[in-house]
Amino acid sequence: MSQHVIDIQNTWKTYRGGVQALRGVTLQVPQGQIFGFLGPNGAGKSTLVKILTSIVKPSQCEGTMLGERIGHKKTLSKVGYLPEHASFPEYLKGREVVRYVAGLCGTSKSLSRVKADELLELVGMSDWADKKMGSYSKGMKQRIGIAQALVNDPEIVFLDEPTDGVDPRGRKEMRDVLVKMREQGRTVFVNSHLLGELEMICDSIAIMDRGELVTQGTIADLTAKSQRIEIGYLGQLSSDLMTKLSAMGGEHSAQTITIYQKQISEIQSIIDTLRAGAVVISRVEEVRQNLEDLFISSVSATGVGGTQN
């Protein structure tokens, strides 16, 4: 089996009614990572996850998940899934929901009992486990949702907006849960709009826009291009100095000199030159794009949604 738990090429989906939700997506997800899947509303993120979990039939899809073709039912016993806007039967108790899902996965009764207790503890719902779903708050339901996604000891866990409706402390706890899953060797595939949170935990990300994949890679790699060092100064630069700096790769604008893709050790000569010209340096700073900047610069500026035929 390849290093990639998900390895798909050329995935297309046109819904009935003509919405082209996916247009030739090719995606590799490395094993054992937390993988962030981003994109504006209607980009096709949920559609892709649904194709991988056999909820939606692709118009076309080549490649494999866990070494099996997409849509292979047996493979899904090694997959956990928390749908977007998950709704679980109101007439079941939290614990029953977890065990119901375990049963659907074919987990034996005794094992599912043990698993349920363990997972309810993990998501902090032990005290509430014997109350009906109907009496839960949104965030509590979401916690049960996380627990049920893990009940079959999955190798891959798909979480479609898992922190939807969860309070800040709960979100922190959930991040810890995700990290724990990764430590256990699972691959975690997260759809989310909360870039700040993803940035904290994701190893790699992919960004979708209008049914196409626009970027994919580790956050460090993707933001490397934007890595730069800024030197702030006071006063004026002589034109002689400016020419020298340009020759050394510095770009100059409003009291700041910017040098792209250089290490701090490599720009010491520029500092020397400035100091030799008696320029007062106010700051030297290494700057890197954050995920939000990357996201904004990757996706097109207009509108939402898939492509209408």
Residues that bind ligand ATP (CB under 6 A): 15, 17, 19, 21, 39, 41-47, 84, 305-306
Inter-residue contact 292 to 220 (CB < 8 Å)? no
Contact between 117 and Mg ion by CB under 5 A: the answer reads no
Residue 102 in 3-state DSSP?
A: helix
Beta-ladder partners of 205 = 36, 217
Of 9-68, binders to another protein (CB under 8 A) are 15-16, 50, 53-57
The pattern of x and - marking residues 117 through 156 that bind another protein according to CB under 8 A reads -------------------------------x--------
Please enumerate, as own/partner, the contacts of 292-299 that have beta carbons within 8 Å and a separation of 24 or more: 292/195, 292/196, 293/226, 294/207, 294/215, 294/222, 294/223, 294/226, 295/38, 295/195, 295/207, 298/207, 298/209, 298/214, 298/215, 299/39, 299/40, 299/43, 299/207, 299/209, 299/214
Q: Which does 41 bind (CB under 5 to 8 A by kind): Mg ion, ligand ATP, another protein, none?
A: ligand ATP
The pattern of x and - marking residues 68 through 107 that bind another protein according to CB under 8 A reads -----xxxxx-x-x-xxxxxxx-xx---x---xx-xxxxx
Give the binding site for Mg ion (CB under 5 A): 46, 84
By the criterion CB under 8 A, which residues form the site for another protein?
A: 15-16, 50, 53-57, 73-77, 79, 81, 83-89, 91-92, 96, 100-101, 103-109, 148
